[in-house]
């Protein structure tokens, strides 16, 4: 009996569709803390605790997802769902990862649009903005430690920062240029960017229940059928996405702008939410005039305090854009449209490439391209940190221009000491006291509330 019990422990069974769906709902409800925390949580639940997937397959899937545009944690959930239960499993896993946070963001964006200038709400967001500065700085520090190995990576990060901050080169060109440099280095056999990328996710079993199923020679026919179904689903997802974007673009108006802008973003968003926010801040604020820099920080604060991908801040931007032109329900519709055009391609990339993940994971040139993009993202996030910090800390910000170089020029006398105090507390909470995300956010929110309402 004891031996039989031990056998059951060592050989976990493949989860049922209902069992896996319950897990993905839990993941969607608890996926706080950004991509790093979400990836770690899925590793603990799927690899360590339930032993559904082995360590090697999990890391291969993670490395593949980091090569793709879009939110890597949501794509990883989609891939794991597909691995377990085919196309239906992938759709359920990816959708449940996003929908709880998207529903909450729709509610919070509506409240913000209607009552954002109410003193209490404004005071609460005042504190959250200081925490956001510290959160971005922490993300910059973590990615820099992982990505900047060697002079080529450092040079690429500095070049990306200067291109965005001083020369205002479009974000997609910076990221695609970095990828091309890394790809070229990999094809040439140069090790300029080796050492960057994802390391070991954590201790986990070498073989999980899904690994035993897929490694069984008898599963070959099932895997071929799944691969055909996945590629068909990926093509359908791309077709529906493209038709939707084209229909709204032809109709014009604010919904056409939302569809086109966020569709472009969906196919070049390498490097995670913090990287793409620099582009959003550049165009949504200055080109379209949808929101102000301060409101962008408010949206990021909301995205950080709700479950789901941090990239849901884009839903907040789209909601305000449509709300201010056409009213409340248009704002909700604009947010829904943004969520669809942002996430639909992620399902397509997973279904089209999922059957080839094991082969892609071993390609040296793709690993070099990923490492170069990750190095450039350090400069992108550094740019975002300054774009966010200047309007939070200073009340008056001008521009200094010299040829193609254009830099923000804050009036030093307009420094808000209360904002500086909250930001300092946020940095101390994360870097010195190690309070974690939620306690730091709560501390800064409470301090900001007190400073705005009492002082």
Give the per-residue pLDDT at 6: 43
Cβ pair 349, 312 in contact under 8 A: no
Give the CA radius of gyration of the chain.
Answer: 22
Q: What is the pLDDT of residues 186-241, one digit of tens each?
A: 888 888 876 544 544 445 566 778 888 877 777 788 888 999 999 999 999 999 99
Q: What is the pLDDT of residues 356-411, one digit of tens each?
A: 877 765 677 877 887 787 788 788 778 877 877 887 788 787 888 888 888 888 88
| Cβ atoms within 10 Å of 111's Cβ, excluding its own | 13
Mean pLDDT rounded to a whole number for the chain: 83
Give the per-residue pLDDT at 291: 86
* Distance separating alpha carbons of residues 172 and 141, to the nearest angstrom: 23
* Distance separating alpha carbons of residues 297 and 303, to the nearest angstrom: 10
Give the per-residue pLDDT at 194: 65
Cβ pair 322, 218 in contact under 8 A: no
Domain boundaries, the chain: 17-100+118-454
Give the per-residue pLDDT at 5: 46
* Distance separating alpha carbons of residues 345 and 341, to the nearest angstrom: 7
Largest CA distance in the chain: 80
Residues 221-242: b if buried by 16+ CB within 10 A, e if exposed = eeeeebeebbbebbeebbeebe
Residue 13, sorted as left (phi over 0), alpha (psi -120 to 50) or beta, turns out to be beta
Each residue's pLDDT tens digit in the chain (455 positions)?
A: 444 444 444 567 888 999 999 999 988 887 765 676 677 778 878 887 888 988 778 877 876 787 788 888 899 999 999 999 999 999 999 999 999 989 989 998 998 888 876 566 667 777 877 777 887 787 778 778 777 888 998 999 999 999 888 887 877 788 788 889 988 988 888 888 765 445 444 455 667 788 888 777 777 888 889 999 999 999 999 999 999 999 999 998 999 999 999 998 888 776 566 667 767 777 888 788 898 877 887 887 778 777 788 888 899 999 999 999 999 999 999 999 999 999 999 999 999 998 887 776 567 787 788 778 778 878 877 887 787 788 778 878 788 888 888 888 888 888 889 889 998 998 999 889 888 777 888 898 889 888 877 76
* Distance separating alpha carbons of residues 81 and 16, to the nearest angstrom: 11
Q: What is the pLDDT of residues 123-140, one digit of tens each?
A: 777 787 777 788 778 777
pTM above 0.85, yes or no: no
- Look at the block and give the residue holding tokens 């959160």: 135
Cβ pair 376, 119 in contact under 8 A: no
User: What CA–CA distances, in Å, run from 205 to 82, 159, 185, 202, 249?
Assistant: 20, 41, 34, 10, 48
Give the per-residue pLDDT at 271: 58
Q: What is the pLDDT of residues 180-189, one digit of tens each?
A: 998 898 888 8
Q: Phi/psi at 400 (nearest 5 deg)?
A: -110, 125
Q: Phi/psi at 219 (nearest 5 deg)?
A: -95, 5
């Amino acid at each position: 009996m004891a031996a039989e019990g031990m056998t059951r422990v060592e050989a976990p069974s493949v989860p049922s569709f209902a069992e896996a769906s319950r897990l993905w709902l839990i993941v969607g409800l608890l996926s706080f803390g950004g991509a790093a925390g979400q990836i770690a949580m899925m590793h603990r639940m799927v690899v360590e605790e339930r032993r559904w997937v082995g360590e090697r397959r999990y890391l291969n899937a993670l490395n593949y997802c980091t090569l793709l545009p879009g939110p890597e944690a949501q794509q990883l959930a989609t891939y794991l769902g597909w691995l377990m239960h085919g196309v239906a499993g992938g759709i359920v896993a990816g959708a449940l990862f996003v929908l709880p946070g998207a529903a909450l963001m729709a509610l919070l964006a509506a409240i913000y649009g209607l009552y954002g200038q109410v003193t209490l709400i404004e005071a609460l967001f005042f504190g959250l903005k200081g925490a956001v500065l510290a959160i971005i700085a922490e993300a910059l520090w973590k990615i820099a430690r992982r990505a900047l190995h060697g002079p080529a990576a450092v040079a690429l990060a500095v070049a990306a920062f200067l291109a965005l901050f001083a020369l205002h080169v479009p974000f997609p060109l910076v990221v695609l240029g970095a990828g091309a440099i890394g790809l070229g280095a990999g094809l040439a056999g140069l090790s300029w960017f080796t050492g960057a990328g994802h390391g070991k996710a954590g201790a986990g079993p070498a073989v999980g229940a899904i690994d035993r199923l897929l490694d069984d020679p008898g599963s070959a026919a099932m895997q071929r059928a799944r691969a055909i179904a996945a590629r068909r689903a990926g093509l359908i997802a791309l077709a529906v996405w493209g038709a939707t974007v084209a229909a709204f673009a032809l109709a014009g108006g604010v919904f056409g702008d939302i569809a086109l802008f966020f569709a472009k973003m969906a196919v070049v968003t390498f490097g995670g939410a913090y990287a793409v926010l620099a582009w959003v801040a550049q165009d949504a604020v200055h080109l379209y005039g949808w929101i102000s820099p301060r409101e962008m920080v408010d949206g990021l604060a909301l995205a950080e305090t709700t479950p789901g991908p941090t990239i849901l801040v884009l839903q907040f931007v789209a909601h305000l854009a449509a709300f201010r032109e056409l009213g409340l329900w248009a704002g909700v519709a604009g947010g829904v449209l943004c969520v669809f055009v942002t996430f639909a391609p992620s399902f397509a990339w997973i279904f089209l490439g999922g059957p080839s993940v094991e082969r892609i994971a071993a390609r040296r040139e793709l690993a070099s391209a990923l490492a170069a993009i990750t190095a450039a993202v350090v400069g992108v996030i550094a740019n975002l940190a300054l774009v966010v910090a200047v309007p939070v800390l200073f009340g008056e910000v001008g521009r200094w221009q010299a040829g193609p170089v254009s830099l923000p020029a804050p009036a030093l006398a307009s420094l808000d000491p209360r904002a500086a105090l909250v930001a300092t507390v946020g940095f101390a909470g994360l870097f010195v006291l190690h309070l974690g995300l939620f306690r730091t956010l709560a501390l800064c929110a409470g301090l900001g509330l007190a400073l705005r309402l009492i002082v």
